Structure 1
């Protein structure tokens, strides 16, 4: 956790101010019992009313000063902690934004969300308590002992017996609670994962009547977290009654023995009252320390998880010094003996892939499920880096091109259409931030989306719900295609982006695309033969390798895998 607190540097003056105010607050609280002792010993015993008013005035000033310091300390510590939390969330988010898909696969989306929200909140809350208590508790404890000894050293023997007993009980309870606190964060991760899957997959869950199963999964994760938290809270519930019992017993002992010393004229009544307050301050400071020991382990577990994200270096990084030389080519793609494996996989996802895709041509990729089609095109925008071989764009290895510059050349339509909350126009402009209304509408027309947009109540200003749940699968795909087209990119990649379209819309869209992308390189991944058969080049993948390259007619003569796909989808009349 200390490593994480280096990010507090921008807030160092707030931290210093908070600690200084807490210091003066502690001094004020330690001084008040002494003033009260003086009032009793001198003012009350001697009947000196003027002295009582004088010292009472001092007490009031000290109390007001202590209150002002407490308010100021709380304000500055809260401001520092909240600023730290805001800064940490920003740093984690920005760092995660640079991750490749490999890092997301390692940590998991649900865990990433928990680390950015819940874990940072845990550290933030502990930071507030640390700024308030870490200085106050030791000062109150040490200062209380010094002041108590100054009032009556003999009576301090009661504290010598009580404090070790109290410390041992606190230590025992905290020691049992620490492992439970550490496990809570993992259980929150699990609950987040189950809940996220349940909400995002609600259509599938309902269609297969698995609501009861998902409810049971959620209940198990929820019960597991709840039971752990109940166990922790039960344990911590013992702390306050035990502390109060010991404090009350110690108060009785102090009054008993103090009364004997007053009777023997070895101690004044005011000193006994002050001593009692100092004893309470000492024991309350121990309780504060115990609360810190309870919260710090949980925050430490959270800090470890946050540091794990911040320390994780993206596998894919921009070259320290760009080796890319300017090229006269625009949109030229070449795979040179490319092999790639996912981390931990036994077999490569694609192996020994070589082909060239030229501007003005449409290159289609077809193959069975799991043959490596999507993996292959994910290597072009560097979502993953090749294991061996090279991927060239405009004659330059993609690893030598800054990621922003490389992706600026590409209009990418993913296999799963993703829309964002906002208007339809906002979603299309996601591809080009400064696109005019005319460019947005033109892209929608090419993508065959203008028709259904015009039928919506607010047209291009119609709101898209989270995840695009208020539009159909085909409409989502067409909006995703429009988002890519508005870029006027050198390279267009369509990863099975026509699967939700009917044959008529598919045909119209491909015809419109052909005219629109005359100067661009187009790569289409598809399952349907009808989508790829008119492509200039078709790459057939089978078990991660290239089974054939050519036009539809060439492959019908030379490639058994392609013929098998065609015969499984088209009738003899359509093939002819």
Structure 2
């Protein structure tokens, strides 16, 4: 895990190395200052002249200035290094996510990926900041202060040999209890983010069904779960403060009482006022260093689990890879399924698709119909290699899809998915996802084919109209037509419409299909639909049931020979007659 995270330091190695060096110099200066002050006190006690005091004062000011300089410099380099690491971690994770196949994405929920990119990276950033600064400063301060305490206080400094183990053991018990809680809480963060994401995304549905109270209760449960674990962890961590206070006051009472007695009586230990003041200062340094070390351990404990979650994303390799010598040319739009079976994961008990033997000629219009869960979408997702077939093989243009360069294949197989998304930006910017170099004339032509030009032209800003995130300021049917236009701009050899005209009226649906027949006759068109009217004029219609092909034929042939198709057609037309 550490090795994987360390790869993201990259250009920030220099400042990461400089920070501990600068911190070390700061600590040296801080530890020498009490020693100089002790000598000054002793000199004043001995009745030194003002010139001696002035020299000591200048030395102290110079040392304090140097310490401040090193401290500020270390703070700057530390911030640069930690923020840079966080930036690179987010970048590396995001870039790797872009390479994920659908199978990889299924493994991580969207809410979990968001948590890893935000909360987990922030935890690692804070831990890294502490590691290269506080985790260097505190042990050094502890060691130097120990040495100087024994130099200045002699046998009296032995008090630390009793106090430090007590404090250390107490902190060990605290951290041991806290670690499992922090490990568990991040999974609950995922659930909390999932609740927020789902609610915000579906806020219109929530309001239309007046389910605000239900969503609030669901959120409260997730938030309460996170709060409960954090509260337990914070209660345990709260022991740190009284334990530290106990040790600090115990040392103060001992040093002040026994030290004052020794200074006054000059018995037992050779100790003067300057040494006593230095010993008090070093005792605070030692105990505060231990306190800070405990905070570092707590932060590292939190960050350890976050680091593992980040490393999981960074090390996750796509299940889809380019072959060694990929094919860069798709000959035509023919599609062949040779005894294909498919399941979404190796652990799945049943196949989503089974024994698919299907051959589509280039330029054909193919309709696919079937009930919910009949794996219509699963079938077409194998064509553009969003998933790989578990058994058998899928060929496009006579070549196995696994032999193609992925980018080449997907540029020639355009899919308009069931849940297509418009991104924030203008309509032109969204359309140019299909072709970055598309001219305004090409945009208009694609929109005319998709029956989108009419409503786009009616917007005050036309094609420069700004689309809100997720396309919330356009209707479902308008969004679908813009997504179809975007796909057409790719000028693909295969166009797949996965129930992507469900939100448009039957007249517009018919106009879209007519435009496709007339203007892109050489493109293979695969239309998944719930309405038989959307596929009636297809060259062939495939009827799916339970992940298998139940029947293939024209509308007339299926009406005569396929019971499922006939039932769907009859029920829809009866419903239409009753509505009329």
SS state at 1:337 partner: strand
Question: 2:393 maps to what in 1?
Answer: 390
CA separation in 1, counterparts of 2:276 and 2:550? 95
Aligned to 2:276: 272
- Matches of 1:6 and 1:558, distance apart in 2: 62
**CA distance in 1: counterparts of 2:276 and 2:10, whole angstroms:** 45
Ranges of 4+ aligned residues in structure 1 off by more than 6 Å: none
CA contact (8 A) 2:426 2:465 kept: yes
Task: State the shift of 1:143 in Å.
Answer: 0.7
| Distance (whole Å) between structure 2 residues aligned to residue 377 and residue 166 of structure 1 | 64
C-alpha deviation, 1:325, in angstroms: 7.8
Residue 558 in structure 1 maps to residue 561 in structure 2: yes
Matched, 1:525 2:533: no
Q: Give, in angstroms, the shift of residue 26 of structure 1.
A: 0.5
Displacement of 1:210 in angstroms is 2.2
- For residues 181-218 of structure 1, what are the alpha-carbon distances to aligned partners after superposition, in whole Å with 9 as ceiling and x for unaligned? 22221221111011111111223323333221111010
- 1:304 aligns to 2:308 (yes or no): yes
- 8 Å Cα contact 2:29-2:63 kept in structure 1: yes
- Deviation (angstroms), 1:38: 1.1
Kept after mapping to 1: 8 A contact 2:328/2:408: no
Q: Structure 2: state its 5+ residue gaps.
A: none
Alignment of 1:238-317 (within 5 A): 238-265=239-266, 266-317=270-321
Distance (whole Å) between structure 2 residues aligned to residue 360 and residue 238 of structure 1? 74
What's 2:334 paired with? 332
TM-score by length of 2: 0.95
In the alignment, the residues of structure 1 paired with residue 122 and residue 67 of structure 2 have an alpha-carbon distance, to the nearest angstrom, of: 29
TM-score, length basis structure 1: 0.96
* CA apart distance, 1:157: 1.9
Give the secondary structure class of the aligned counterpart of 2:530.
coil
Conserved? CA contact 1:198–1:214, under 8 Å:
yes
Pair 1:567 & 2:570 matched? yes
Post-superposition Cα deviations, 1:320-369, rounded to whole Å, max 9, x if no partner, equal 332x3856x32221111111112243321111112222222211111111
- Whole-Å separation in 2 of the counterparts to 1:503 and 1:151: 93
Match of residue 499 from structure 1: 502
- TM-superposed deviation, 1:89: 0.6
How do residues 66-85 of structure 1 correspond to structure 2 at under 5 angstroms?
A: 66-85=67-86
Question: CA offset at residue 5 of structure 1?
Answer: 2.3
1:522 to partner: Cα distance: 0.8
Local SS of the residue matching 1:31: helix
| Equivalent runs, 1:8-407 vs 2, <5 Å | 8-265=9-266, 266-322=270-326, 324=327, 329-343=331-345, 344-407=347-410
Post-superposition offset of 1:571: 5.3
Deviations 1:291-319 (A, max 9, x none): 01111111000001111112222211111
Match of 2:247, SS state, is helix
Does the CA contact (< 8 Å) of 1:43 and 1:49 recur in 2? no
- Which residue in the other structure is 1:461 paired with? 464
Q: 1:372 to 1:75 in 2, by over 3 A?
A: same
Check the 8 A contact 1:443/1:486 in 2, yes or no: yes
Counterparts of 2:351 and 2:180, CA distance in 1? 41
Within the alignment, does 1:452 sit opposite 2:455 as a pair? yes
Cα pair 1:334 1:357 within 8 Å, conserved = yes
Q: Offset of 1:573 from its aligned partner?
A: 11
CA RMSD of aligned residues (A): 1.7
Query: For 2:283 and 2:213, how far apart are their aligned partners in 1?
Result: 57
C-alpha separation between the residues in 2 aligned to 1:417 and 1:410?
15
Contact 1:428 1:440 in 2 (8 A): yes
Alpha carbons of structure 1 residues 242 and 446: separation in structure 2 relative to 1, 3 Å: same
Instruction: Return the alpha-carbon distance in structure 2 between the equivalents of residues 459 and 572 of structure 1.
Output: 38
Q: How many pairs does the alignment contain?
A: 572
Q: Confirm or deny: 8 A CA contact 1:44 1:52 kept in the other structure.
A: no
> Relative to structure 2, which stretch is displaced further, 147-156 or 231-240?
231-240
SS at match of 2:155: coil
Whole-angstrom CA distance in 1 between matches of 2:277 and 2:519: 90
Contact preservation (8 Å) 1:410, 1:493: yes
Distance in 2 of aligned mates of 1:563 and 1:181: 58
Task: Give 3-state SS (helix, strand or coil) of 2:8's partner.
Answer: helix
Higher alpha-carbon deviation: 369-378 or 342-351: 342-351
For 1:410, which of 409, 413, 416 is the aligned residue?
413
Offset of 1:572 from its aligned partner?
12
**Residues 444 and 284 of structure 1, relative CA distance in 2, 3 Å threshold:** same
- Structure 1 residues 377 and 43 mapped into 2: Cα distance closer, same or farther (>3 Å)? same
Moved more, 495-504 or 344-353: 344-353
CA spacing shift, 1:433–1:44, aligned 2, 3 Å: farther
Q: CA deviation at 1:72?
A: 0.6
Q: Which runs of 5+ in 1 are unaligned?
A: none
